[in-house]
Structure 1
């Protein structure tokens, strides 16, 4: 499967289709093209973007996600580490979301990464499509995922990189240069440095999560030390009918943990907990962290992968940067023995990240039941073996 290496140059959709984007926006053609510059000003959004009313009810309150100060943890202060671990435990057994501050990531790098994303998304569509994402790849640009889906399209465009810690450090600059030109070398270097900072932070968070679960503090750090990751830049353009659509539909992340940087003061992230949607407001100097399906399985269901979504804005566009930590593709996801009590049934079968990733790309659109559906699919598939049995 294509995952940890860049894709070659691909122009998709064809250029003649791009040039007729206004005509296509109102047609029944399956080859729909999302051009943020054009569609942000349309009084009525295309029907492909209209979501069912049941999935777009408004948020009623703000989520009071715990704010975890990592300074004492980094300094090795025992009391501070215990407090941080308790906050993580409380959040992850409830809804799976918390924020981290004093995380050690340079503010100038954060600002540079956001500014670079803005520069890319302001490019003409024909230029962005030179880095068009290929099927089953995590590299490149996509507009509203219209290459994969024909309804309930998200009102956003993304630029993604798959990052293997063992790969060449020039892999992101090389990809952008090959697809967009030498003038994008600096952009590649910015995201190379940002990915490295996110890798370091994610492994530290995994160590803290291990402490919070009563597992050897090095266990999850080592489990993910040779892992892979996905870096995604999100752009949510203005929308003239924001009440009819979503920037990202309700879903649980299939990955292990997500580290999200929200831009400035533009709201958008919402979490479903306590029977309703709750807004997670951007917090200066903080990253939002949430548990994904892979880690929920790795913790034998102790920590929760929570339903969340992104809404859009009529007045202002919004950008965010998401870093998804994943295990090495062939590493078996199995909870440590201490998280499976004697006589307790395993909640999920063994699997590899490659299997789950492929399932979400070819079999199933990620939603609230991705992990449960994937587990059922594994156990019923012809490839089932003793490795998959949910034994203690």
Structure 2
């Protein structure tokens, strides 16, 4: 049997070591190194049941093989929340079309946005008095679901996967806190349960995590050319951290480390973890939001599927507030080496995007201009596209 881990250039952390008093410290040392020097890693023995993963992964071919009219009925153009289906080459990264199709889903939550500044939440699970008139609250809302007849069992499989990844992401954040040397639970205030929000109140509205279900079709013309863009080179801007499950054995993910592109191939039983722009900026560049890309599949017959989970943060949170939770000793760990243009600290440093809600609205309108213009208007879209 081939040892899949033997020649991978990224660290592979065994999360079961967190339960071993002898190995726990070594695990934190590994995580510390990955956080501050690489920004990408694999995790294994993560606690998510294989059945939970396979139940969703096995439905992806069926999901994408629905009739064109069924997929079109779930178009993102139907959703001010940018949730739903995007066809081949309908999403843009760095001005180039991504050669993939995808379904964007999220934590199933009701609409809270209202155009009236005097209104309060329409979320019946929330009794808190908040102003939901800011335009970025319109990002938050329910999914578009495929019909049970077309994709039997999909909603159940998706919900179980979402809930398992949400729990794993919270456990992983606790390990990060330990690796930082700050109290476990420091960031818990950013992740209140929707059912725990009451009039007494949490400071923030619970976040909406997002999951993409992605298909990269076979590309018989692909010869490794730079323009064979499954997804262009980018840093993740959709959340705090990303947990990626790569379905099957089709390769394509590449990570920019120390000036070189290295492959991050699928490894059975693992998730790939990387960190978002907000994480990088909140630590003043100490934790790396590493640039990565996906090349179009080389296969002439096999599609590549993947399932990235983006751990969300409250839209009413600011990067400055996150930074205030992170000790100066952590922020000082930023590497002294000069970073290349694609690795510079992100536009979150622009005070206009300190608000996570504003930065997320900007991200989605720039990725899906047609959806932005339909639901937010030409003037708003023009502002965020500049």
TM-score for both structures, normalised by structure 1: 0.69
Matched, 1:187 2:132: no
The answer to whether the 8 A contact 1:227-1:326 is kept is yes
Task: Please point out which of 259, 267, 278 is paired with 1:294.
Answer: 278
Write out per-residue CA displacement over residues 327-367 of structure 1, whole angstroms, 9 at most, x where no aligned residue.
Answer: 111122321355235998x98458232111112123579xx
Task: Please point out which of 357, 360, 383 is paired with 1:357.
Answer: 360
Task: Please point out which of 215, 219, 226 is paired with 1:239.
Answer: 219
With over 3 angstroms needed to count, the CA separation of the structure-2 counterparts of 1:229 and 1:272, relative to structure 1, is same
Task: Please point out which of 294, 303, 306 is paired with 1:320.
Answer: 306
Q: Quote the RMSD (CA, aligned, Å).
A: 3.3
Question: Can you give the 5+ residue segments of structure 2 that lack an aligned partner in the other structure?
Answer: 1-6, 111-122, 126-139, 193-205, 335-344, 369-382
Write out per-residue CA displacement over residues 89-135 of structure 1, whole angstroms, 9 at most, x where no aligned residue.
Answer: 11121220011111111111111111111211122222211111126
The answer to whether the 8 A contact 2:105-2:144 is kept is no
* Residue correspondences, number: 300
Task: Please point out which of 147, 157, 167 is paired with 2:101.
Answer: 157
With over 3 angstroms needed to count, the CA separation of the structure-2 counterparts of 1:189 and 1:82, relative to structure 1, is same
1-structure distance, mates of 2:141, 2:151: 10
1:217: Cα distance to partner? 1.4
1:162: Cα distance to partner? 2.0
Question: Can you give the 5+ residue segments of structure 1 that lack an aligned partner in the other structure?
Answer: 1-61, 366-380, 382-392
With over 3 angstroms needed to count, the CA separation of the structure-2 counterparts of 1:272 and 1:147, relative to structure 1, is closer
1-structure distance, mates of 2:308, 2:290: 16
Matched, 1:176 2:155: no
Tell me which residue corresponds to 1:248.
231
Write out per-residue CA displacement over residues 242-290 of structure 1, whole angstroms, 9 at most, x where no aligned residue.
Answer: 2341110000001210000011211111001121110001111000000
The answer to whether the 8 A contact 1:173-1:189 is kept is no
1:322: Cα distance to partner? 0.5
1:152: Cα distance to partner? 2.1
2-structure distance, mates of 1:182, 1:353: 38
2-structure distance, mates of 1:221, 1:326: 13
Task: Please point out which of 107, 115, 118 is paired with 2:61.
Answer: 118
Matched, 1:87 2:90: no
The answer to whether the 8 A contact 1:236-1:319 is kept is yes
The answer to whether the 8 A contact 1:63-1:271 is kept is no
With over 3 angstroms needed to count, the CA separation of the structure-2 counterparts of 1:358 and 1:342, relative to structure 1, is closer
Tell me which residue corresponds to 1:203.
170
Alignment of 1:1-392 (within 5 A): 64-73=9-18, 75=19, 77-134=20-77, 137-146=81-90, 152-163=96-107, 175-176=144-145, 180=147, 183-184=150-151, 186-225=153-192, 226-242=206-222, 243=225, 244-254=227-237, 255-315=239-299, 316-333=302-319, 334-340=322-328, 348=349, 351-362=354-365
The answer to whether the 8 A contact 2:89-2:99 is kept is no
With over 3 angstroms needed to count, the CA separation of the structure-2 counterparts of 1:69 and 1:221, relative to structure 1, is farther
SS at match of 2:229: coil
With over 3 angstroms needed to count, the CA separation of the structure-2 counterparts of 1:214 and 1:160, relative to structure 1, is same
1:175: Cα distance to partner? 3.4
With over 3 angstroms needed to count, the CA separation of the structure-2 counterparts of 1:164 and 1:90, relative to structure 1, is farther
With over 3 angstroms needed to count, the CA separation of the structure-2 counterparts of 1:203 and 1:294, relative to structure 1, is same
2-structure distance, mates of 1:87, 1:164: 35
User: Which has the higher mean CA deviation after the structures are superposed, 121-130 or 281-290?
Assistant: 121-130
